[in-house]
Amino acid sequence: MPAMPLVTGSMASGDRSTAIRMGAVMHYLVMGTVVFGITYGGLFAAFDEDAWWFGAVLGLAHGVLVGLVFMPLMPMMHPRMSRSSSAAAAGGGTVRAETGGGVQLSAPGVFGKDWGAMTAPGLLGGHVVYGVVLALVYRWVA
């Protein structure tokens, strides 16, 4: 499974190191902190609930939505991702083209099944932990 900074950043750059740097900022700082941080905060306020378990439920729902909807749609929007999982399956999701084409990614499939057996548990577990942490931070700040 390719790391999310590489997946995100390679939408803007075919150079692996540039893509990783750009992707880390886009995925973790912009999306993780600003976009989803504000969204989760709004949901905590709307439901008047900021318990850790509520954050876990939101994180699980977020992970399921990503796995069921956005990962299968990724090849339609990503300029460096094949539309079939077989194109780079041997590379665990990532290959470097020999002709200087830069980063090429295989399609992840539903819940990232084509990126390896640990992708789905990592996806769901990571989003659950994210939701718990946001709930704890929200409770501490609010």
CB atoms within 10 A of CB 29: 10
Percentage, residues of the chain above pLDDT 70: 87
- Domain housing 94: 4-141
End-to-end Cα distance, the chain: 37
* CA dist., res. 90 & res. 73, Å (int): 21
Question: Average of pLDDT values for 34-63?
Answer: 97
Question: How many domains would you assign to the chain?
Answer: 1
Q: What would the pLDDT profile of 106-135 be if each residue is shown by its tens digit?
A: 999 999 999 999 999 999 999 999 999 999
Q: What is the mean pLDDT of residues 36-55?
A: 97
**Burial class, 89, CB count within 10 angstroms (exposed 0-12 / middle 13-18 / buried 19+):** middle
**73 token code pair:** 């749609």
C-alpha–C-alpha distance, residues 59 and 47, integer Å: 15
